[in-house]
Amino acid sequence: MKPVGVDDKSAYIVGSGLAGLAAASFLVRDGQMKGDKIHVLEELALPGGSMDGIWNEQKGYIIRGGREMEPHFETLWDLFRSIPSLENPDASVLDEFYWLNKEDPSFSHGRVIQEQGKELPTEGDLTLTPKAVQELLDLVMTPEKDLGDKKINEVFSEDFLNSNFWLYWSTMFAFEPWASAMEMRRYLMRFCHHIDSLSNLSSLRFTKYNQYESLIQPLIKFLESKGVQFTYNTHVNNIKVDTSNGSKVAKEIDLTTDGKDNTISLTENDLVFVTNGSITESTTYGDKTHPAPTEHELGSSWQLWENLAKQDEAFGHPDKFCKNIPEANWTISGTVTLTDDEVTPYIEKISKKDLHSGSIVTSGPVSIKDSNWLYGYSISRQKHFKRQKDNELVVWVYGLFSDKPGNFVNKKITECTGDELCEEWLYHIGVPTDKIKDIAENHASTIPAHMPYITSYFMPRKLGDRPLVVPEGSKNLAFIGNFAETDRDTVFTTEYSVRTAMEAVYTLLNVDRGVPEVFGSAYDVRTLMRAIYYLDGKKKLEDIKLPFKERLVEKKVMEKIHGTYIEELLKDAHLL
């Protein structure tokens, strides 16, 4: 049903990342708001936010990261079922994505390497001790309210942090040992259905090209066709909110467009959706012979959040996420463009895939266990850019530890030029040392990117540090993106961006449709039993060592369930 009074309303969306574009799409599709009443305000000269992939005339191809998606991103796929594909207008982006990943499924043949390109001897084994398994279970059983400001290395011992499980988990999701234990718990509950595929990444789904071309461009074309208004080079400095009488009403937007200050007056019929904070704010770039500068200002999205937070406690605490970030955190990624097949044999030896077949190559990260930087790389389907030449291959590299010198390049990753990032990668994939310098300089071009806030989503936090999507009492103001708070879902995902946008639009417009529930893997007894099987090293119940009394109890239980549905479930999970 068309929401009551929607024809009298307008919307201002701060930020044109995925959350902002999703909010605009839901306003049009489900809120039935006219497009010309929707205004997107973006500080950069182009949309997309962190969902980027761009050709820069001076530097070449640049990607700051890649998006790992999975079948149960319920709101993401709900959005893209309505967005026409650019390559096949008769199909949706979701259709296109589904067909592609069904035909070319993800599977990693080289999830972890060490000793210059050698496969990990324990590949596929989670190597969790009974103590580590118990620590995992203890964390899941702890309520969120009891994990405020706790770090992962405060709830896990070295038993866990030395396991393959942690190596797979941390490098797949970009967790650091000092990251939020609260967020770690959410991830464990949200993705427990993927524990059996951590070592082969078969659960992941990827776009045909970089996410800007495959996801953002179709969204922009759809929104522009509906008349949605985009204003670029616009910094929203503050949103003044009347917080009297127990309600919250956004009254004024202070902004600067192309250097000119302006003010927009608001009423309760003017809905405001704020992307507060940004992981790619203040990104700087280097080139082949220069590192990316590490000096940076706070950035508009953070300053806006700070100005909002000063007005009401319900608007969160941005300093928890953008201040006091550990020096050791991941901050550097690089885009390596190979201009010929000089390195191809070394990559194919690890991935066991033909780089020029059009099939996905690494299916996610290849992590280097013995790298001082905890270096990793990912190679998506090639071409990764539509304009990419046949002889070019685009590789993304990143290092989770920024405070240690490399194994080949005796520098911290933050101090490295593009060529040096490439050299370190070539060393770890097994290229002979006498060839490394020539290949990095003459057969590749590498662009470093410094992202000071890239893991700020994972900073230790407590409840209330992120504002609710729609704060209590708010009439026309909502927060969207990964620094807004919604139940159960996990940040650093495309799903979280879209979920918060959908929740914000449906709440402020009173849309008569439910937001799809977060996938309930943590409540599915089949999933939980299967997870136990893999966490315990693929042991059957009878093979798990138990004290004598517990073994007697187990024997009695087995007798009771013999021939029942419970026994069937245990057999399906390989526990019997």
Q: Determine the average pLDDT of the residues in 326-332.
A: 97
Tell me, yes or no, if the two domains 6-87+208-325+455-509 and 106-113+326-450 fold the same way: no
467-482 CB burial, b ≥16 within 10 A, e <16:
bbbbbeebbbbbbbbb
pLDDT of residue 541: 83
pLDDT above 90 (res 549)? no
92 strand-pairing partners:
84
> Does the domain formed by 106-113+326-450 have CATH 2.40.50.140?
no
Tell me if residue 269 falls in helix, strand or coil: coil
Average pLDDT over residues 466-491: 98
Which neighbouring-strand residues pair with 367? 112, 376
Q: Which residues contact 35 (CB under 8 A, 6 or more apart)?
A: 28, 223, 226, 227, 228, 229
pLDDT at residue 555 tops 90: no
pLDDT digits (tens, 9 = 90+) for 279-311: 999 999 999 999 999 998 899 999 999 999 999
The predicted pLDDT at position 544 comes to 78
pLDDT, position 550: 78
pLDDT in tens, 158-177: 999 999 999 999 999 999 99
Say if residue 545's pLDDT is above 80: no
As to burial, measured by CB atoms within 10 angstroms (0-12 exposed, 13-18 middle, 19+ buried), residue 104 is middle
6-87+208-325+455-509 CATH fold? FAD/NAD(P)-binding domain (3.50.50)
Q: What is the pLDDT of residue 547?
A: 79
Where do the H-state alpha helices sit in 318-416? 319-322, 344-351
Q: What is the pLDDT, as a whole number, of residue 344?
A: 98
Q: Which residues contact 102 (CB under 8 A, 6 or more apart)?
A: none
Catalytic residues: 68, 187
Q: What is the mean pLDDT of residues 401-418?
A: 98
Q: What pLDDT is recorded for position 275?
A: 98
d(CA 296, CA 450): 10
Mean pLDDT of the 134-150 span: 96
pLDDT at 185: 97
**262 in Cβ contact with 233 (< 8 Å):** no
Q: How far is CA 293 from the centre of its chain?
A: 24
pLDDT of residue 421: 98
Exposure pattern of 23-61 as b/e (b: 16+ CB <10 Å)? bbbbbbbbbebbbebbbbbbbbeebbbbbbbbeeeebbb
Give the Å distances, CA to CA, from 312 to 241, 273, 301, 389.
9, 17, 17, 52
47-58 pLDDT, tens digit per residue, is 999 998 999 999
Domain ranges of the chain: 6-87+208-325+455-509, 106-113+326-450, 128-191, 521-573
Residue entry with tokens 């941390």: 170
**Tokens 């300053």 identify what position?**
303
pLDDT tops 80 at residue 35: yes
3-state helix, strand, coil in the chain (%, to 5): 35, 20, 45
pLDDT (0 to 100) of residue 255: 98
| Distances in whole angstroms, Cα of residue 528 to Cα of each of 69, 488, 535, 560, 572 | 21, 17, 10, 21, 12
Distance CA(491)–CA(198), nearest Å, equals 19
The average confidence (pLDDT) of the chain is 96
d(CA 68, CA 84): 22
Nearest to 482 by CA among 455, 462, 500, 460: 500
Question: pLDDT at position 542, please?
Answer: 83
In which residue are the tokens 């650093």 written?
A: 492
pLDDT band at 543 (very low <50, low <70, confident <90, very high): confident
Q: Is residue 454 within 8 Å of residue 330, measured between CB atoms?
A: yes
| Contact predicate 335/56, CB 8 Å | no
Predicted local distance difference test score (pLDDT) of residue 291: 98
Predicted local confidence at residue 89, as pLDDT:
84
* Contact (CB, 8 A) for 498 and 481: no
